[in-house]
Structure 1
Amino acid sequence: MAILGCGNMGTAILDGILATLKQVEPSSLARKPIHHDHIGLSQFIACVSRPESVAALEDRYRPYLDPNAASTWSSANGRSHSPTVSVWRNDNGKAVASADVILLACQPSRVASILSDPSIRQHLHDKLLISICVGVSAARIHSLLSATDAADRHGVDTTMGTATVTEQGCYIVHAMPNTASGLGQSATVLSTGSSTPGVSPTLSLPPALQAFVTSIFRCIGTTTFVPAELMNAASVVGASTPAFFATALDGVVKGGVQSGLSESDALRLAAQAMKGTAEMVLRGMTADSTVTLTPIQIKESVMTPNGCTERGVKVMAARRVEEAMTEATSQAIDRVFKLGQEAGI
C-alpha cells in the first residue's frame, strides 16, 4: 500500500492496520480481488513532501523500517513475516508503481495535480485507488483521470504510458474516516462509482474487493457503504459530528464546574455518560439496521415529570438546541459540496 500524503489521517489508518497485523494471520486480510496473485497488507510506503515529515514518520515507524524487525507474526507454515514501512519524499510515481493499493490522503486542493502526474496515471491500471479527500467523489476522481487521458491522446502530454486508466480502468473507492481513527473508533463511510447522469462509472467493485476494503477500514473502527449521491451527507454525519458532540460535552462540563465540580471530574462523568448513551443506541440496532431504541426514547426514559432532567431538557428546547444541531449538520453538508469546487476540482 502506498499512502500519498501521509498526514494525521493517513498515519491513523496505517497505525490501525499495523496494530491489526500484530493480532491476526495476514492471510485473513489478503484477498484476490484484482488480477494479481494477491494483495497483501505487509508492505507500506508513506509518501510526504517535507523533510520534517520524513523524520517524524521514520521515528514513529522505526520498528518497521528494518525488514528484519522484531515486530513479526507466524504463518501457518511456521515462517515468520514482518510488516515493513518505507518513508519516501517527493516520489509518488515510484510509490504508485510499487503498490497494489493506493491511499490518496492529501489535501483536496492537491488531488488534481497529483492525478495529472503521468508517472502516477500510467501505473494505476487494474489497481485499487482509495481516496479519503473531503468533497472529492469517486466519480470526480474518475473524471479527472479520464480528462487527463483525453488530453494525452490529443498531444497535450505524450509521456503517458500505453495502459491508460480510461482504457483499462482502475477501482476507485471514496472513504471518509473520522478523528477517532487513532483509537480504533472511527465511523468510516465508503462509496464507489457514481449515479450522476453523464458521468462515466468507475470499474464495478467485485465483492471480494469490497470485503478487502472493508477489512482495511475495520482496522480503525466501523464501516458503512452508502450510495455515491449520499456520500457528502454521510461524511458529515460520521466525520464532522465529533466536533458537534464535543461542543455539547464542553457545555455540560462548564455547567458542572460552575456548580463546584472539578473540571476533570465533570469531564470524566459527562464523557462516560455520552459514551454510554451512544452505546445504548448502537446496541439497540439489529443486524439489519432496524433501530429498536431511539435517542428520543432514551431521553424520555431518563426524564421524570417536573424532575431535574426534564428542566434541563426544557432549557435546551427553549434555546432550540435540536434545531441548531440539525441546521449545523445541513450547513456542513452544503459546505462539503463547495469544498470540491473551491479546490478547483
Structure 2
Amino acid sequence: MKVEDFDFELPERLIAQTPLTDRTASRLLTLDRKSGEINHRMFTDLSDLLREGDTLVLNNTKVLPARLIGQKADTGAKIELLLLKQLSGDRWKTLAKPAKRVKPGTELWFGDDGSGQPLLRAIAESEGDMGARTVVFHYEGIFNELLDRLGEMPLPPYIAERLEDKDRYQTVFARHEGSAAAPTAGLHFTTDYLSELESRGVQLAYLTLHVGLGTFRPMSAETVEEHVMHSEYYNLDEENAATLQAARERGGRIVAVGTTSARTLETVASRAGEGPVQACSGWTDIFIYPGYDFKLVDALLTNFHLPKSTLVMLVSALAGREQVLAAYQEAVEREYRFFSFGDAMFIS
C-alpha cells in the first residue's frame, strides 16, 4: 500500500491558524462508514448523534509548555528546544532548532534572572536523528514553575500565528502533564457541553496518551507497511477500565475522541485479547491503517488531518480510504477548517 494513496489537495488558506472564540462553534462533517453518506452539521449537533448508553472516551493528557527559546551561552545565537520526553531527573529528550548548532557539550541559556544570568541552563549530552538532542537542565527552584514561566505551547509547524492564550491549546479535561502536542479533537468540548452530554445518558471515560515525537515527523517511507511508529506512554486506570467493560457488556457504542484515544483503546484491546478490559499502562507503537480490525472503537470524533499522514490512514482503516478521501474532498470544497484548530468529523 503506497503512502501516496493517502494524498489529497489542500489549499493553505484552509489551515486554521487560530482557535474559535467558542470551543463548540466549529462545523461537523458526519460520515456513515457503512453507507458512505456524508452530512454537514455543527459540532453541537453531536448531542443528537450520540445515543443514550454510548461511552465517549477522552484523552486527558496535558500539554507541557515545552517550546523553549533561548541562546547559546558562548555566541548568543538563537536556539529553540522542544521538550519531548523526560528520561530521568533533569535529563530530557528534545528537538533542537537549528540542530547543527547544538553539539554535545553546548550550553544553552533561557530567561534572565535580572543580573545577566539565565533562569534555566541546558547542556547538550548527545545527538540523535532528525534534530533530537539529549540535554540536562540546571536551575534553582522548581522546574515546572520555570517551564510555565519561560515555555510556549509547542504548536505544530503549519500554525504560523502566535497563540495568545495557552489554555486554548489544552482540553478542558487535561489532567496529566506530559504531551508534546494536544489531543486536538478534545479541544471542541467545554465543561458545560460535556455535562449536557452526560445529562442525555452519554457516559464519559478517560485515558491518557502522551503525544510524542512522531507528531512532528512526516512519513519518509514510500509504502505504508515500511513505516515504523514512535512509542508513546499510555495509561488506563481501573475505574475507567470498568466503565469501558460495562459499555462493552451492555452493547453501547465506544466513541473515541481523537486518534490518540483510538490508538490507546486498540492497544488496551490487544492486551485484553478475548478477556475483559483491564487497567494497564506502558508504551505503545500501534500503527493502524486499512486492513486493521477494530476491537474496541465503534465510532470516532476527529479533526481533519494532514495529507499522507498516519492519522489519515487510521481514519481510513475505520471508514475506508475511498470514503474518507471523498469526505475530505467535500470538506475542501465546502471550505472546512483543517488541522489542530479546525473543524471536526464524526465517523459512525
Same-fold call, TM cutoff 0.5: no
Q: Taking structure 2 as the reference length, what is the TM-score of the superposition?
A: 0.22
Please tell me whether Structure 1 or Structure 2 has the larger radius of gyration of its CA atoms.
Answer: 1
More helix by share: 1
